Amino acid sequence: MNGIATIRAFGWVQQNIKENDALLNISQRPTYLLAMIQKWLLLALNLVVMFIALIVITMSTQLRTSSGFAGASLVTLMGFGLALSNIVKFYASMETSIGAVARIKDFCEKTTSETQVYDTAKLDNNWPDKGNIEIQGVSAYYGYERSNPLFGLPSLAYVCIGCNLEMTLSLLKLAN
């Protein structure tokens, strides 16, 4: 007994949803932590670049250097900060991708095939020998009203609820 049919049959849907949510949160915890660490690292790098820019501005104003050189150095410093941020982002992305490939490889090597046959019962070659379907006491209703709208009709008419009107009438004539 396994699969979604068993879960639905025994009414375990809500329990399985809660269990799957808990397992999903546990499995995604490293991803959340990695994203949080990346944000803090990017913040730290941007703060370092900001402090270097503050030092460059302070030195350029105190030493009375050319404003063109100060502006060029600040633009270069901003480009350096952007390059550092991109390096961190791309390295983290590459590390995540390599980890995913390693997990997929590990899964493929260690997981057994699902094509194994779970049902080991042996049946005779002539099974089933014979069979029939008998329909008795069938009723149909619409909505919450449980009255039998087809009361008094032969059993064959119950099967024809979805048929068109002409086919139903011809079957009723055959059943009587």
**What are the domain boundaries of the chain?**
4-110, 138-176
CA 66 vs CA 49, 51, 69: distances in Å? 21, 21, 5
pLDDT band at 17 (very low <50, low <70, confident <90, very high): very high
* Rounded CA separation 96/36 (Å): 14
Q: Of 142, 141, 143, 169, nearest to 156 (Cα)? A: 169
- pLDDT tens digits, residue range 72-102? 888 998 898 889 888 988 888 888 889 889 9
**Total-model pTM:** 0.47
Which tens digit of pLDDT belongs to each residue from 130-144? 777 777 777 766 555
